[in-house]
Structures are given as C-alpha cells and as structure tokens.
Structure 1
C-alpha cells in the first residue's frame, strides 16, 4: 500500500518569496547552517555559513507529517536538496528537476536513511551528516571531497 502526500507529487522549483525565520539553525563544529523546509509551493532554503561541519550526524523534523512511519527498508518518493557544508553549494536537487526521486532506503547513503527512517510520510526533515554517513571517499562528480559534511532538506512524499 502506497500513501501519497499530495495529488500532484511534484517538487516545487521556486524558492519562497519570503522564507521567514529558519525552522532549524544548527551551529556546527565549524560554521553553521539554517534550514527552512519546503512548502507545497516553494523549495527549501538551506543557508550555510561555510565551512560547516558536524562531529555527529543530526536529524531535525522541520514539519511533522500525518502519514504512517517510514520503515528502514521502505522504498520512498522524496523531494530533496543536498548542500555541501564545505562551500554551501547545492550539489543535487530534485527540487531543481521539479520531480521527486524514488529509491529504496537500504540503497542510499547512511545519513539519508537515518534522516527518513522512522519519520512520518508527509514530513519535511533536515539532516546534517558527517562524511562517514555521506561519501567518506568523496563524490568527484558532485564536487564532494573526502571529509565534507553534507546537509539535506527532504520532503517525504510517500513510502511503500
């Protein structure tokens, strides 16, 4: 059984006209990050004071959903934006593409799984993950170097 968050299941591409105060502000071991989650009509805003790094992966629920909890082995459909803490660049974003990404949670980097598993469908979450939970050896195509802290803003559309 698949639970969908919305009838259109697209990811909004435009940033909010007035994002207001961030829903999560996290001082890091170095730098800081401020995250405002997405809405039905606007993409999230992730503002990095670089270089941002964390000593341990941290997950924060920006807006709790009302759907069922996501199992650690579920396949999910999510909208997400990934930002490199080292320089604040967006290295991957389903919001920019305007469509959700679908994948099994046991097939993604550990930090992404930690962010989503146990959350309710419809939730908007953010995660700041240590390199070991992201790409410990880096991901050259995405400009990620070994040791980079990654920040994701994620909206969970559905899980099955």
Structure 2
C-alpha cells in the first residue's frame, strides 16, 4: 500500500524542519468511499482572488466534492465550518488527530490526495503538517467537517513536486475530524 501524497509531503517538509512527532494510519475508522451526493446543496461557495470553489461535505456514506473554477487563488487562508458542527472535544493546537480529507489544487482543479479514495483516515500530530491544515483543524470540535482554502504561504510556498504542487498554488481541502488526543 502506498502512503498518501499529503503524508509524504508532510513527512518531506517535516524532515526539513524536524517537527514531525507522529504519523500513522488509523485502521479502526473508515472514510466513506461512496460517490458524492448530488442531492445535497453545497456546504460552501467561495470566491477567491481569481476563480471560485463549491464544496459539499461528506456524509456517513458519501465522500465530499470540491468543484473549482480555475485558476482559484487566495491571498489569505479561509476556513469554513460545515453544518452540523461536531459535538466532541475541541481540538488543541498540538493534538494528534485522525481525519478524512480530500485535497484539490486550485491551479489545476484536480485532486492531489484523498483519504476517501483509500477508505482509511490519516492520523498525525498537528505539529507536523502545513500551517493551513493546522489552522483548519485546531479549535474545531471532533466530529466537525470543515473546508479550507489554503494560501500559498500557509501551504507549500516553494511547491511540493511529488504532489504536483507548484510554488504559489492555492490548496483546497474538505476535512472531517474523527478524533483528537
């Protein structure tokens, strides 16, 4: 089984910065692999500096969907909590979390990583991920789903070639927070 591109990218960045404290897969939980629901109205519509996005969050049986009018760019990271919000504990800044996520590149409109495709969540310390991912999760409640448009300065300012991310790319994620310790 190949590791996810986000996990590889986080590991590569972390090896350079020396901050990775935990990274593994949580085999007990699953991420729904069903096709996104077309019956639900979007949870988030957002106009960027250029382009726009429309996102629908995950359900118990369906994966999320992100549609991009490209190129989509933002100068500052924007976070959108989806309804209903989770009812678990608030996630701390240094928590180790288990999440399901879908990542899309704003420049290309293409997904570059998805735990939903694999059906298994990713687990990691918030100290070991890009700043925009941490900003999206820390302070949310376990059980919540959020969307985040990550500005290049909070993502990969110099790019991440292994994931097809070029310098200056805006990244969009839909994240479902399953647990936090």
* TM-score normalised by length of structure 1: 0.93
Q: In structure 1, which of residues 130, 140, 144 is the aligned counterpart of residue 151 of structure 2?
A: 130
- For residues 1-60 of structure 1, give each alpha carbon's deviation from its aligned partner in whole angstroms, at most 9, with x where no partner exists: xxxxxxx62001122242432110000000000111001100001000000001110000
Higher strand content, 1 or 2: 1
Task: State the match for 1:151 in structure 2.
Answer: 172
Q: In structure 2, which of residues 25, 32, 54 is the aligned counterpart of residue 12 of structure 1?
A: 32
Task: State the match for 2:120 in structure 1.
Answer: 99
SS at match of 1:31: strand
Confirm whether residue 50 of structure 1 aligns to residue 70 of structure 2.
yes
- For residues 106-135 of structure 1, give each alpha carbon's deviation from its aligned partner in whole angstroms, at most 9, with x where no partner exists: 100000000000000000001001011111
* Moved segments of 4+, more than 4 Å: none
Alpha-carbon distance between aligned partners in 1 of 2:37 and 2:174, rounded to the nearest angstrom: 18
- For residues 118-156 of structure 1, give each alpha carbon's deviation from its aligned partner in whole angstroms, at most 9, with x where no partner exists: 000000001001011111110101100000000000000
Matched length: 153
* TM-score normalised by length of structure 2: 0.82
Higher helix content, 1 or 2: 2
Where structure 2 has 5 or more consecutive residues not aligned to the other structure, the ranges are 1-27
